[in-house]
Structure 1
Amino acid sequence: MRLIASAALALTLCVSSFASPAMAAPCGNSSAGFDTWKADFAKRAGRAGVKSAGLQALAQAQYARRTIAADRNQKSFRYSLEKFMQIRGSATIVAQGRKRLARHADFYAALERKYGVPAGVLIAIHGMETAFGNYMGDSQIVSAIVTLTYDCRRSEFFEPHALGALKLVDQGAITSATLGAKHGELGHTQFLPGNALKYGVDWDRDGRVNFYDLEDALASTARYLQKRGWKRGKGYQQGQPNFRVLKEWNAATVYQQSLAIMGRQIDN
């Protein structure tokens, strides 16, 4: 077991010192330089406003080998649309989604009134991402997202999300032990932490945004889509104004197409 307390103290102390970009610890493609990089990242995190709890979580972060393996092996997005939808269980998502819409019609109507996003899209996202909350991940969010930020493949993309995760720790929204997907996504609809921090909604008004609470998660998802350009009352099938907003949720074309198809079937 690592000496977590000592590592945390070292990381906290180094926040006050300034390192020039030329001296920044490099990214890496193995665990070899991870601890050195974390010490350097703690300085950047401190300058970005991360507090002691977030820095402690950074100190405790472990190199996530399963996350790296998953990041190197994303085969499903190479499938045809038909194969992708079959693998993801689209027929089941639609059938269950219609039942959920019927049971909670008032909730989804309230979301659409506020954010302009129809139920079908939100329900399809919920079904695709976590099978309606039945599987929200088995990887420690902070370790996963910090590892991806250290990894050379997409460091720049993941850094805002690593900082977001550490700030969510500061806010008490998650801890270093909170579980999510292998790429650090969290909650019912698998928000990346930076987006969770920016777009989170306390729908049930209990004083905190909880992405593991269904109402908060779906309201946050609706707000995210609204802020990314969703046009109230406009269509979301291919060629229609809101289809491009689905790319803001997931960059894979087959994913966007699947959401559009399932969303329409649920809404109808």
Structure 2
Amino acid sequence: MHTLRRHLLHCVLFLCCCALPPAAASARSGGQADAATDAGWTPLVDKLAADGLDKAALARLFAGGTVEYSPEIMARKVDAMVRKEFEPKPKPGRKTLEQSAYRHFLTPEAVAGAVRFVRQNRAAFDKAQREYGPPPELVAAFLVVETNLGTYLGDRDALSVLASLARASTLEQIAPYMKTLHGEPARREFAAAAAADRAQWAFRELAALLRYAAAKKQQPGTIPGSIYGAIGICQFMPSNALRFGVDADGDGIVDLFCPADAIVSIASYLRGHGWKPGMTPQETRDVVYAYNHSDLYVLAVTTVAERIKARL
């Protein structure tokens, strides 16, 4: 079994965004790397190059409009943060769950599909439990809630999503698209700080995505992602793919779009965030919360896990 970190150490062929010394990048580009880059992306390309990625490859990647800039993505993210800060909702209960979008995963049909998925991938679930601890019903519940067992992986490419978030770092860029400011100074101040913070976070995730794509030998723009750049059947942020991704099928590549790798990687993530045998229900909820900081999400995952377990 190889983690992605180990694979990166041994990988000798990087595509698109390899980490090359500046001199090598300059030689490959003939000194024209910046000329090919769309002007709006130049500061981000420079920052990624300073982080150790190949500037010539970055210039080609961000040239010609192939990476789409959408400040609306950051506006949506900051709107959600403003609502959480200034319009907090009461703690959700079963009734809230049954009225939410998660209700689709609670049906007998959805649970039966999850049970079939566990049985079809029993070797991977057994490996996940044997080497990392979390039981099949819990791991499967994440896959159900995140991507409906891989049937929906997002409708945007993760590269454009994360690049847009990294670029939209100021309130001025996103305010025209926001719905929660209401002309209130306190909200504007919070939103400005949130945008700057999330842009830094997105930059780190973007750099991780490029490294993940290189290790996977895949063009980064072809990797589908969620509305905020999560990838794979398990919807990991790219930095978690690098840190917790597991090559469960032994093909030398961590592929989070492969059921076996995604299943064992979730177990790796959960153990890395405190999962251990014999936890109390509250301790289990705390570990699930680390995956997605939403009380309703936690309730959805744990409820789906209970129903899968009853059927298994």
TM range (shorter): 0.7 to 0.9
The residue that corresponds to 2:259 in the other structure is: 214
Deviation at 1:180, TM superposition (A): 2.1
Alignment RMSD: 3.0
The residue that corresponds to 2:309 in the other structure is: 267
Structure 2 distance, partners of 1:57, 1:231, is: 42
Q: Secondary structure at the match of 2:139?
A: helix
Q: Partner amino acid for 1:84?
A: S
Q: Partner amino acid for 1:40?
A: P
Distance 1:249 1:12, change over 3 A: farther
How does 1:179-190 map onto structure 2 within 5 Å?
179-190=224-235
Q: What's the TM-score once normalised by structure 2's chain length?
A: 0.67
Are positions 1:9 and 2:33 aligned together? yes
Structure 2 distance, partners of 1:124, 1:251, is: 16
Q: Partner amino acid for 2:133?
A: G
Largest Rg, 1 or 2: 2
Q: Report Cα offsets for 1:182-207 as digits up to 9, x if no partner.
A: 22111111111121122211111111
Are positions 1:94 and 2:111 aligned together? yes
Distance 1:11 1:95, change over 3 A: farther
Q: Secondary structure at the match of 2:100?
A: helix
How does 1:72-111 map onto structure 2 within 5 Å?
80-84=96-100, 87-91=103-107, 92-111=109-128
Q: Which moved more, 1:222-231 or 1:101-110?
A: 101-110
Q: Partner amino acid for 2:201?
A: F
The residue that corresponds to 2:165 in the other structure is: 148
Structure 2 distance, partners of 1:220, 1:103, is: 17
The residue that corresponds to 1:164 in the other structure is: 208
Kindly tell me the number of residue pairs found equivalent between the two proteins: 238
Distance 1:180 1:189, change over 3 A: same
Q: Partner amino acid for 1:45?
A: L
- Whether the 8 Å contact between 1:66 and 1:182 is mirrored in structure 2 is no
- Whether the 8 Å contact between 1:85 and 1:258 is mirrored in structure 2 is no
Q: Unaligned regions of 5+ residues in structure 2, if any?
A: 1-28, 170-194
Deviation at 1:178, TM superposition (A): 2.2
Structure 2 distance, partners of 1:62, 1:11, is: 18
Distance 1:176 1:151, change over 3 A: same
Q: Which moved more, 1:136-145 or 1:161-170?
A: 161-170
Q: Partner amino acid for 2:157?
A: Q
The structure showing larger relative contact order (alpha-carbon pairs under 8 Å, at least 6 residues apart) is 2
Are positions 1:61 and 2:67 aligned together? yes
Q: Unaligned regions of 5+ residues in structure 1, if any?
A: 14-33
Structure 1 distance, partners of 2:120, 2:214, is: 36
Structure 2 distance, partners of 1:184, 1:11, is: 28
- Whether the 8 Å contact between 1:55 and 1:166 is mirrored in structure 2 is no
Deviation at 1:121, TM superposition (A): 1.4
Structure 1 distance, partners of 2:61, 2:115, is: 40
- Whether the 8 Å contact between 1:129 and 1:189 is mirrored in structure 2 is yes
- Whether the 8 Å contact between 2:121 and 2:260 is mirrored in structure 1 is no
The equivalent position to 2:240 in structure 1, one of 167, 177, 195, is: 195
The residue that corresponds to 1:23 in the other structure is: none
Q: Which moved more, 1:62-71 or 1:88-97?
A: 62-71
Q: Partner amino acid for 2:134?
A: V
Structure 1 distance, partners of 2:105, 2:135, is: 21
Q: Partner amino acid for 1:222?
A: A
Deviation at 1:264, TM superposition (A): 1.9
The residue that corresponds to 1:46 in the other structure is: 49
Q: What's the TM-score once normalised by structure 1's chain length?
A: 0.77
Q: Partner amino acid for 1:157?
A: W
Q: Partner amino acid for 1:50?
A: L
The equivalent position to 1:248 in structure 2, one of 290, 301, 304, is: 290
